[in-house]
Amino acid sequence: MKPRPPLRPVRVGVVGAGALGFHHIRLLKQIEGADLVGFYDHNPTRSAKVAKELETVAFSSPEALLDRVEAVTVVVPTPAHVEVGLPVLERGLHALVEKPLADALPGAEQLVQTARERGVCLQVGHVERFNRAVRAAGPYLEEPRFHLTDQLATSQQRSTAETVILDLMSHELEQVQQLVR
């Protein structure tokens, strides 16, 4: 069998350079198969700081970024997911949208339908689904009936534009579903 030629890296960008977006940018620089083109953030001061610290390009508009990429991670406050994600999908670009997909069902359905119509991948970032501690505990739980979680953080760098329920509770709901099967 003839060996496959190596795949060309995917040109990817990030919209949103807040606390979580910063990590998307940082990690995409390290992922084999990803060619981080740069990012866009609406805050020019934040953009300059992140661009300098991570040695990457801060684009002056989302359109300028979208013109140069094949895929985008959307890492903005949840209420803006649809507003930011739709133009990405409408251009025929693949998208990873941080959880939850939208702040209301009609917006989520609109994102899914647009991705389906354009024939592109739409993925939701549920990082806690792959939490090693939760996955390791799973086999020891026979019939869980009670689930208690605490959110602990060393800093308050997350967005205050949304409630803690919308921002973080989706992780807990995901874990409950995973553990009770």
Answer yes or no: is pLDDT of 96 > 60: yes
CA distance 125 to 73: 9
pLDDT tens-digit series, residues 58-74: 999 999 999 999 999 99
| Helix H or strand E encompassing 28 | helix 19-28
Residue 99: predicted pLDDT = 86
- Residue 138's pLDDT band, with cuts at 50, 70 and 90, is confident
Sheet holding 71-74, edge to edge: 58-59, 34-40, 10-15, 71-74, 94-98, 122-125
- Residue 177's pLDDT band, with cuts at 50, 70 and 90, is confident
Answer yes or no: is pLDDT of 43 > 70: yes
**What are the structural domains of the chain?**
10-125 (3.40.50.720), 129-180 (no CATH)
pTM of the model: 0.79
In angstroms, the Cα distances linking 34 to 24, 31, 141 are 12, 6, 37
Answer yes or no: is pLDDT of 121 > 80: yes
Mean pLDDT of 11-27: 96
Mean pLDDT of 136-140: 79
Nearest residue to 84 (alpha-carbon basis) of 102, 109, 104, 59: 102
Residue 27: predicted pLDDT = 95
Residue 7: predicted pLDDT = 82
